[in-house]
Amino acid sequence: MAGDWQPDFEQLVDEHQSMVFSLALRMTGDRGLAEEIAQDTFLALDVNLGKIESSQHACLWLRRVAISRSTDALRRRHARGFGQWAEIDESHGARKLERGSALGIRIEALLATLPEAQRAAIILRYQEDLSPEEIAATLGAPLATVKSQLQRGLKLLRAKAESQLKEYIRAV
């Protein structure tokens, strides 16, 4: 345990539940599964609380575990024959429509079609506003790989958007 930082589990849940849930939701597209992943992630944090050295460390740890568990859950779901993003909660889109543009909803749906590694990099870049270096540290991947995933993911996303999102093309 470094410094005087004393972990308060309940406070950590309060601070990071939105981040952990959103990461799992964007990775899986399933609110129910995302909630399960978020719960499991926080319970894993509780078990490993003694190894957490600071608030920043807790945040980094939660991001890494949330992404990792989401990826595992998607693989288990694929192995069982479920389609990816097959059970998107309708209320999720409806709530989004109130706050954001239709384009935003479509971008979120297009994001789901990206390969997992690219999706994780894009989510960490634009949801969590992380630099490529921070993404590399979170995912435990080489920086060059992360930069490549970001470039490819963005390129693929833009190509899909240009071909599918007429609204966006008209706007630009």
Question: Contact between 35 and other proteins (CB under 8 A)?
Answer: yes
Among residues 78 and 131, whose Cβ is nearest to other proteins?
131
Residues 6+ apart with CB under 8 A from 61: 45, 48, 52
Three-point CA angle 146, 62, 158, nearest 5°:
35
Local structure of residue 49 (DSSP, 8 states): G
Give residues 93-132 in contact with other proteins (rule: CB under 8 A). 96, 99-101, 103-105, 107-108, 111, 122-123, 126-127, 129
CB of 35 to other proteins, least distance (A): 5
32: left (phi over 0), alpha (psi -120 to 50) or beta: alpha
Min. distance of Cβ 128 from other proteins in angstroms? 8
The least CB distance from residue 81 to other proteins, in Å, is: 27
Residue 9 found at the interface with other proteins (CB under 8 A): yes
Q: Which two tokens stand for residue 56?
A: 């920043």
In the bound state with other proteins, the residue whose beta carbon lies nearer, of 47 and 86, is: 47
| Distance from chain centroid for Cα 122 | 8
SS3 content of the chain, % helix, strand, coil (to 5): 75, 0, 25
Q: How far is the CB of 23 from other proteins (least distance, A)?
A: 9
Residue type present at position 74: L
**What is the dihedral sign for C-alpha 49, 52, 54, 60?**
negative
Q: How far is the CB of 67 from other proteins (least distance, A)?
A: 14
Residues lying near other proteins in the complex (CB under 8 A) are found at 9-10, 13-14, 17-22, 25-26, 31, 35, 38-39, 42-43, 46, 92, 96, 99-101, 103-105, 107-108, 111, 122-123, 126-127, 129, 154, 157-158, 161, 168, 172
